[in-house]
Structure 1
Amino acid sequence: MLLVVVASAAAAPQRYQTQPTYRPSPGPFIPILVDERDGPYADGTYSFNFETGNGISRNERGYPGGPEGAVVSSGGWSFTFPDGTPAVFTFEADGDGYRPVSNLIPTPHPLPAHAIEQIEFARRNPTPASRPAPYRPF
């Protein structure tokens, strides 16, 4: 008799949820207006483009063009800061590295004229190679 009770308890349908409960994020809903994707393909070629309802956009494409078929990519993204300032970035990535471009990326101040003169003087007047001193621990 005990065996029958255990078998019927084990055969009873289990109460579990088949799909996770969706919990919306606390912020506003932002629709995706554009979502275009192509690839990736076996040779590494791909592209995508998306835009959201709050003005964020992102695009990128890649293709084999580097050494030994390495993928070269380029693209960009843009959005608007809360104060209304537009932010636009573009980039290229290849054998020479990743190179982003934007007027928002900080750049160093230009060197003053006297510093440029000193650098040029040093370039025109190299010092002879120095010999390392022998190692003397004590």
Structure 2
Amino acid sequence: MKFLVATLFLAGTCLAQESHGRRYHQQQQQQQQQQQQQQQQEDHNQHYQPAPQQYQENRRLHESTTFIPIIRFDKEQGADGSYKALWETGNNILAQEEGYLKDLGPDPDAKGETLHAQVQQGSFTYTAPNGEVIVTRYTADETGFHAEGDHLPTPPPVSPEVQKGLDLIFAGIRQQQEQESHEYTPEAKQSQEYRDAGGRQPSRNQLPQEYNRQNQYQQEYNGPQRQHQ
């Protein structure tokens, strides 16, 4: 009987220890899994978390985006290439423009063709952040784009001394161009050829040698003329 009781006690003790060991092992596994999940979550947040400045900029951009409607738009198109356009938006932007084709004369690269240039002129108005109304007027043609407005910077005035010097330079350039154009006229070219050939320019009473030769050929062809009695 004592042996049986001792055996049952020993078996119960072994079962209790085995059950306790199994629960301890399960707890250890759960703790390790929780620690791994927590570490993975921290790594994920650290790797994919956006920068604070970028997040704030994206949020500010999203909050400041506002739909601006076009409340007016008119356009007229002509068959000759001319047009007129006007549009206005909901944030007080007003613009108008018109254009046409300008005749520039014959095309030097295409015989019988005419050169044309697109001319555009107009203006646009908007309100600056400080409440000032900005108006810009512009013209665009074969000389380029030209804009004017009270808000645009302007060059300082030229002093009288500098302006006088510029006028003298332009006058010299103009005189040189006129002189060069005169040198390339047919009369000037013929006179230059005579000077290059003989070293001097022939007088008005002296006929060119080529003209004398042609006159001699003409007399020989016609033969001697008869004298009428």
Coarse TM-score class (shorter-chain normalised): 0.5 to 0.7
Deviations 1:56-106 (A, max 9, x none): 111111112242332221111110101011110111222333221111221
| Structure 1 match to 2:150 | 103
- Please list every run of 5 or more consecutive structure 2 residues that lacks an aligned counterpart in the other structure: 1-61, 105-114, 174-229
When residues 112 and 55 of structure 1 are mapped into structure 2, their CA distance, relative to the original with a 3 A threshold, is same
User: Superposed, which structure 2 residues align to 1:1-138 within 5 Å?
Assistant: 27-39=65-77, 41-67=78-104, 68-112=115-159, 115-116=162-163
| Structure 1 match to 2:109 | none
Bigger-Rg structure (1/2): 2
When residues 120 and 64 of structure 1 are mapped into structure 2, their CA distance, relative to the original with a 3 A threshold, is closer
Aligned length: 103
Task: Tell me the CA shift for residue 43 of structure 1.
Answer: 2.9
Distance in 2, Cα, partners of 1:43 & 1:75: 19
Q: Percent identity over the alignment?
A: 29
Distance in 2, Cα, partners of 1:46 & 1:124: 41
When residues 65 and 54 of structure 1 are mapped into structure 2, their CA distance, relative to the original with a 3 A threshold, is same
Letter in 1 for 2:144: G
Q: Larger RCO: Structure 1 or Structure 2 (Cα < 8 Å, ≥ 6 residues apart)? A: 1
| Structure 1 match to 2:196 | none
Distance in 2, Cα, partners of 1:90 & 1:79: 12
Task: Tell me the CA shift for residue 34 of structure 1.
Answer: 1.0
User: Over aligned residue pairs, what C-alpha RMSD do you find?
Assistant: 3.1
- Please list every run of 5 or more consecutive structure 1 residues that lacks an aligned counterpart in the other structure: 1-23, 127-138
Q: Which of the pair is proportionally richer in helix? A: 2
Q: Which of the pair is proportionally richer in strand? A: 1
Distance in 1, Cα, partners of 2:84 & 2:63: 29
Distance in 2, Cα, partners of 1:99 & 1:119: 23
